[in-house]
């Protein structure tokens, strides 16, 4: 049972600015979330109901899982030094 992936426009713009080798790895990680929304190494963010983050090299993907509608909503994609600012 695969989850549907939705990407917030802000995250999509940030992904487009990331250099290509990193962007490819991040895109593969996002695609893998459709099959396994809680992969090994994902962390639940404190202070948020259903928000998780995964690491892809020096970049982080912050997303929410909506189990009732089988959807993964990508909130932010950014470098590890910038990801938690204004979340």
pTM > 0.75: yes
CA dist 66 and 22 (Å) reads 27
What structural domains and CATH numbers belong to the chain?
4-79 (3.30.2310.20)
The pLDDT profile of the chain, 87 residues, written as one tens digit per residue, is 799 999 999 999 999 999 999 999 999 999 999 999 999 999 999 888 889 999 999 999 999 999 999 999 999 999 999 887 766
Structure tokens at 68: 């009732």
Strands 59-66 and 71-79: antiparallel
CA dist 48 and 38 (Å) reads 16
């Amino acid at each position: 049972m695969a989850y549907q992936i939705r990407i917030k426009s802000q995250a999509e713009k940030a992904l487009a600015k990331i250099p290509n080798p990193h962007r490819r790895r991040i895109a593969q990680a996002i695609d893998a979330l459709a099959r396994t929304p809680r992969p090994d190494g994902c962390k639940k963010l404190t202070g948020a109901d259903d928000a998780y983050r995964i690491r892809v090299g020096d970049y982080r993907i912050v997303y929410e899982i909506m189990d009732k509608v089988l959807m993964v909503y990508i909130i932010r994609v950014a470098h590890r030094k910038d990801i938690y600012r204004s979340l």
